[in-house]
Structure 1
Amino acid sequence: MKAIRYEAYGPPDVLRLTDVPKPEVGDDEVLVRVRAAAVNPGDLFLMRGTPYVLRAVAGLTRPKVHGLGNDLAGEVEAVGGTVTRFRPGDEVYGCVRGAFAEYVTVRETGPLTRKPAGLTYEQAAAVPTSGMTALRALRDEAGAGRRVLVNGAAGGIGTFAVQLARAYGAEVTGVCGPGGAALVRSLGADVVDYTKEDFSRTGRRYDLILDNVGNRSLADCRRALAPEGVLIPNSGSGGRWFGPMGRIITVKLLNPFVRQRFATFVTRENAADLDTLRDLLESGKITPVIDRIHPLAETAEAVAYAERGHAHGKVVITV
């Protein structure tokens, strides 16, 4: 089968389309014929091997696992002897390392579930990681009538976050560049164009800020928070060693000393959240936003485009 593999850390040109053996199905596994996959920031970190703290798990000098990609949508081709949740022919979506490939195996108990009805494979593949991250950030925080600001509102996570905040009854403001303003407004948010206005100096206060960009200091973000508001830092710079984790470590240390709250979390991929997202998708409360679609052979180009950080919505790979 065809799959994307990389043998060394580096820029997108380390990615190669190659022939590899089709995976064998274990007793508790599902073999999925991948129809589409999506690019995520985590793929970029694994490809580059930065932040360096990541290498403690991924491999110190070269990657231990050579497949890339995490989000997929496709069809069940075969199931193991003990599998009862899935049957051949089922349309599914979910997460597994190495999704940039024609076939993958996923454990029956893993983050895999029925694909949302009415969505194409490309649309479904755009959902899992970004959708679950936005869901985890907003589900317990964005109550009815709350004022929510999403920094990076036109990106993969941001487009889901704006829609989810609206679905949970919040008034939403999205921060983006001029190229994404029309999109963010169409999703139901007011817009702050960061090329013209600094959201931290408008005088407006928000009950919740989801910061997907990390281009403002914590002091700036706190200035835009209500006195008992919540800041969720989902990005930031901690240098080559810690990357976004540096900002998360900082806010954990500051949390006991400030009235406002810094909420941090790690998205745990699971079928239950995918089922929640499927219900929201099928009801029309949220819709995937796709910037562009590339074939598997152009994965390096797709990843390079995503790495530049200006995609509006998701970058998707067809397989």
Structure 2
Amino acid sequence: MKAVVQRRYGSAVLGDLDVPVPGKGEVLLEVRAAGVDMGVWHILTGRPYLLRILGFGFRAPKSVVPGRDVAGVVTEVGPGVTGFEVGDEVFGTCEGSFAEHAVAPVSRLARKPRNTSFTEAAAVPISGATALQGLRGVQPGQRVLVLGAGGGVGSYGVQIAKALGAHVTGVCSTRKVDLVRSLGADEVVDYTVADFTGTYDLILDCGGARPFSLLRKATTDRGRIVLVGAETGGAITGGFHKLMASPLLNLFSSKKFVPLMSAECADVFDELRALVEAEKVKAPVDKVFPLSEALDAIDHVYSRRSVGKTVVAI
């Protein structure tokens, strides 16, 4: 099978590999599309170096094939699998989705939404699940601020917050204003012109560029600031230093910083499927690359040129 092959950090090529064999609790997928997010770039480069310590591979990546978001068709069922059979169309996450075939645990798969293409479905799992879990507890009528609203997680954050009945303000750059408005934001702030004002019950921070002091000032009493991640840190810890510092800050205020560590599981993907089928959430696909141009797709995301989500079609 054709696959993007990465045997060391910082280098990958399109090559040939044997088709993998599903083990217990796994299925083999014919991959139709794979989503691209900043996590793929981190694994490709091995930066920040903290990721290597956290188990992604110290000297070389554990997974020879990058990519985790996936949508495809079940072609083989491993031992002990129930609920899926050959021919089922699914989406979710796995290790090594930048390939013509991939093995995925059924605990991280759900049936593909009926009203989406494989390309759209592959853009949903990681970003959609992160936004959904970051917005847990939002009540109708509350005010939600989404920083980085034109990116992967942020674009789902706007839609899910609206589906929950919140008043949503999205903050993004000029070229993403139209997208964020089309996703249903009540207010759109172009931060290149003027930054946001007011106070919010929940801030979903997908950008990581604002200081803690500003975020706290913009939060109501007992409000929450959900820290999704940041691309503003150095090569050692990246944006993780903010996530690690938040518990200490919570000792001194009723306004809570919540470092988000989202789970990738079938139950969450089923929730997303229901939202997509109810037309409350759509996959904001920006650009689609063929497998042979997967590295260009990663660069497209890393350079912040993506407006919404980027996908590799297999």
8 Å Cα contact 1:155/1:310 also seen in 2: no
| Mapping for residues 47-196 of structure 1, pairs under 5 Å | 47-56=44-53, 57-108=55-106, 110-140=107-137, 142-189=138-185, 190-196=187-193
Q: Distance in 1 between matches of 2:132 and 2:32?
A: 24
> What number of residue pairs does the alignment pair up?
311
Which residue does the alignment assign to 1:5?
Answer: 5
In 2, are the aligned partners of 1:234 and 1:244 still within 8 Å (CA)?
no
Matched with 1:251 is 246
Q: Aligned AA for 1:6?
A: Q
Q: Could you tell me whether the CA contact under 8 Å between 2:94 and 2:105 is conserved in 1? A: no
The code of the aligned residue for 1:100 comes to: F
* CA displacement at 1:80 relative to structure 2: 2.2
Cα distance per residue 1:62-107 (max 9 Å; x no partner): 2232210001101011112432211111101010010101111122
Secondary structure of 1:315's aligned partner:
strand
Identical aligned residues as a percent: 42
Distance 1:27 1:220, change over 3 A: closer
- Distance in 1 of aligned mates of 2:254 and 2:78: 52
Q: TM-score, normalised by structure 1?
A: 0.95
CA offset at residue 27 of structure 1?
A: 4.2
RMSD: 1.2
Cα deviation code 1:153-179 (max 9, x no counterpart): 011111100000000000000001111
Once structures 1 and 2 are overlaid, which stretch shifts more, 225-234 or 291-300? Answer: 225-234
Q: Identify the match of residue 289 of structure 2 among 263, 273, 294.
A: 294
- Give the Cα separation in 1 of the matches to 2:141 and 2:153: 22
Check conservation: 1:134, 1:158, Cα contact below 8 A. yes
User: Does 2:34 correspond to 1:37?
Assistant: yes
> C-alpha distance in 2, partners of 1:30/1:191?
42
The answer as to whether partners of 1:40 and 1:70 remain within 8 angstroms in 2 is: no
Query: Taking structure 2 as the reference length, what is the TM-score of the superposition?
Result: 0.96
| Pick aligned residue for 2:218 from 208, 215, 224 | 224
Q: Which runs of 5+ in 2 are unaligned?
A: none
Structure 1 equivalent of residue 14 of structure 2: 17
Runs of 4+ in 1 over 6 A off after TM superposition: none
Closer/same/farther in 2, CA of residues 27 and 262 from structure 1, 3 Å limit: closer
**Structure 1: 5+ residue stretches without partners:** none
Deviation at 1:132, TM superposition (A): 0.2
Q: SS of the counterpart of 1:86?
A: coil
Q: Secondary structure at 2:7's aligned position in 1?
A: coil
Moved more, 149-158 or 253-262: 253-262
